Amino acid sequence: MLMDATHRHDHLDLGPAVQTRLLNMSKATNDRALRPTREKIDGQRERRTGVRAAIGRSIPVRTFADWNDPPAGFFEVDMVDHCGGPKSDGNYVHSLVMTNIASGWTECVAMQTRNQLLVVQAMGKVAMEVPFAMLGVDTDKGSAFMNQLVFDYCKELHIEQTRSRACKKNDQAWVEQKNGAIARGLVGYGRLSGRAETASLAALHAVSRLCINFF
């Protein structure tokens, strides 16, 4: 049951009274109660799709061959899904992986879910920890990166934002290599979910980052 699963993986915390009312609610009552929220979400989804497309068109494409020996500070950025197999739902942990082109310095940040606000927070965390100023980020065309929040963050901090082409993984060959060597090499391919496992992954990334980057 969905409610049991969300409790088990720390995604939901309901009191006994609320849980009892939800379990006793009929499908018709449930549909009536959720109709205003569903209509609002559908409208927001249409607007978000338009905004994402417009932002994607405004961000220049950069391929693997376009780096031309950049100074320290330019990163390829990608997401590793710790889903344990087929992506049946989005309730699994992610690692945001950022690889510096000039030096190969790589940072991994654990995120409980794929979320644009968490992406901005992770980029800010990396910016404070790397030994050089962040000058640019190159991402894929996913919605976690092609959104107003990430766009405004980069613009405000004068970070050059570029993107890869759709379905062209070699455009981000630097970070793709680190996805396998570091994120998968440390964690493997099992499923991680919930706050506790996010915290454990964050601790692993924290204790391994300097060893990985210096040695």
Answer for the pair 201, 192: CB distance below 8 angstroms, yes or no.
yes
On whether the CB atoms of residues 201 and 187 are closer than 8 A, the answer is: yes
> How does pLDDT run across 137-188, given as a tens digit for each residue?
999 999 999 999 999 999 999 999 999 998 888 999 999 999 999 999 999 9
63-103: per-residue pLDDT in tens?
989 999 999 999 999 999 999 988 777 789 999 999 999 99
- Residue 21: pLDDT band (50, 70, 90) is confident
**The three-state (H, E, C) secondary structure of 105-126, written as one string:** CEEEEEECCCCHHHHHHHHHHH
The Cα–Cα gap between 44 and 186 comes to: 38
DSSP string over 130-154: SSS---EEEE-S-TTTSSHHHHHHH
211 vs 26, residue with greater confidence:
211
The residue type of 27 is: K
- Per-residue pLDDT of 23-76, as tens digits, reads 777 777 877 777 777 766 665 555 556 666 788 888 999 998 999 999 999 999
Q: How many Å apart are CA 23 and CA 5, to the nearest integer?
A: 14
Sheet holding 106-111, edge to edge: 106-111, 93-100, 74-82, 136-139, 160-163
Residues in the chain: 215
Q: What is the pTM of this model?
A: 0.76
Contact 134, 110 (CB under 8 A): no
**Quick one: pLDDT at residue 140?**
94
As a whole number of angstroms, the distance between CA 56 and CA 131 comes to 30
Helix, strand, coil shares of the chain as percentages rounded to 5?
Answer: 55, 15, 30
Pairing of strands 93-100, 106-111: antiparallel
Nearest by Cα to 184 from 80, 70, 42: 80
Confidence of residue 116 (pLDDT cuts 50, 70, 90): very high
Residue with tokens 């107003």: 148
